[in-house]
Amino acid sequence: MSQLRITDVKVICTAPNGIRLVVVKVLTSEPGLYGLGCATFTQRPHAVVTAIEEYLKPFVLGRDPDDIEDIYQTAYASSYWRSGPVLNNALSGIDQALWDIKGKRANMPVYQLLGGKCRECAPLYAHASGRDFKEVEENVQRWREQGYRYIRAQVAVPGMATYGSRSMSVAGRPTWEPTPYCRLVPRLFEHLRATFGDEIELLHDIHERVPPIQAIGLAKELEKYHLFFLEDPFAPEDIDYFRILRQQTATPIAMGELFVNQNEYVPLIRDRLIDFIRVHISDIGGLSMARKLAAFCEFFGVRTAWHGPGDVSPVGHAANLALDIACWNFGIQEQTVFPEETRAVFPGCPEIRDGAMWPSDRPGLGIDIDEKEAAKYPFPDLPLNGSWAPIRRLDGTAIRQ
């Protein structure tokens, strides 16, 4: 019997709800056997496509798709200068697709290949934002009525381009100042606790937008409101501040959305400086690296909270879910609600109900792509080709966001 081989690698670009998604399809010498992987880097999708088509595709053609680890390690080193979101996302598309193939060959869901179920579903946190406290409160209540116990709350800062809420501008330019934000957020959580008590778990995302010392002060002020976690208090460039933060407050900390290299997150986990790892799994290289990261975190009391916004494709969400179900140290999963158009492009989108994401027993990642439907939604033309426009302080200084 001839050995199974990789015969082709296709990149499928689609934007069913205006978000540019990159999905990789790895085909094999067995008719009808293929796998899907997420390679979405929505701010630089064309660079990822080039990396896959021009470099990784020729590297993996003819390989045995069962050799996931060897393909990962050799492809990772093949560029000599390695890591970074472009190369990692390209590698992730291949890697996740190989896991999908292996699950299909075994006639098992990928979570079974990772050790089997630790839980029946993955609880989600929903996003509740608003122009003022009342609107945030109404949105929190709406999610509670749908069975959610974990809710991230964000509120607009009047006159500012606030992360997680409706943006405003000054003189037509997105504008931000950290001090009004740091004064407003504790008042929001005081209001929410007075309204809802301790019946729900509340979360908040700073999104690295304030100077580190102000983030430390905010974490201390929020401690009395018992957050489930406070996300991204610092930029990756400022991670040494975590040692100071840990000495100042017991507010649980989630970090990692922008991490692309092991040297960024290993010290934080090893030294028990964070409580939740928030990486975007395609940005760190895919399922192979993420499962190792989850196992490493377990030994240091760090729980998983994989990044799961709209610019993770449904294939990426299926990979998140496989890890959520199989990892003992699961913490929470960020929610994205899949609109009708997205569900049509990606048959088998993970089911969401009762505030949780539920796995299926379909083999592999349990999700497919309808290429004819995908072709109906080409990438839109975007200002700056999808780059994030700068947000500036009142004096014109650009901030990290």
| 112-363 carries CATH number 3.20.20.120 | yes
Say whether 152 sits in a helix, a strand or coil.
Answer: strand
- Mean pLDDT of all residues belonging to the chain: 95
β-pair partners for 37: 24
DSSP string spanning 63-108? Answer: --TT-HHHHHHHHHHTTSS--SHHHHHHHHHHHHHHHHHHHHHHTS
Mean of pLDDT values over 251-270: 97
Residue of 384 and 287 predicted with greater confidence: 287
8-state DSSP, 236: G
pLDDT tens per residue, range 160-180: 888 877 655 555 678 999 999
Q: Where are the domains of the chain?
A: 112-363
pLDDT for res 40: 97
Residue with tokens 């630790």: 118
**Pairing status of strand 6-14 against strand 150-155:** unpaired
Mean of pLDDT values over 219-228: 98
Closest-CA residue to 37 (of 397, 386, 367):
367
8-state DSSP, 201: E
Residues 6+ apart with CB under 8 A from 192: 133, 136, 137, 140, 153, 202, 225
Residue with tokens 């048959």: 347
Contact 332, 148 (CB under 8 A): no
Mean of pLDDT values over 141-145: 97
CB atoms within 10 A of CB 13: 19
pLDDT for res 1: 47
CA-based torsion, 259, 262, 267, 268: positive or negative? positive
Contact 111, 326 (CB under 8 A): yes
Q: Which pair of structure tokens corresponds to residue 374?
A: 């995908």
pLDDT for res 161: 85
Contact 105, 116 (CB under 8 A): no
What does the alpha-carbon distance between residue 93 and residue 96 come to, in Å, rounded to a whole number?
6
pLDDT tens per residue, range 302-359: 999 999 999 999 999 999 999 999 999 999 999 999 999 999 999 999 999 999 999 9
Residue 250 in this model has a pLDDT that exceeds 80:
yes
DSSP string spanning 37-71? Answer: EE---TTSHHHHHHHIIIIIHHHHTT--TT-HHHH
Q: Which residues are catalytic?
A: 163, 207
Closest-CA residue to 20 (of 302, 282, 374, 369):
374
Poorest-pLDDT segment among 134-148, 166-180, 283-297: 166-180
Residue with tokens 């407050």: 249
Contact 96, 361 (CB under 8 A): no
Q: Find the helix or strand (DSSP H, E) in which 221 lies.
A: helix 212-222
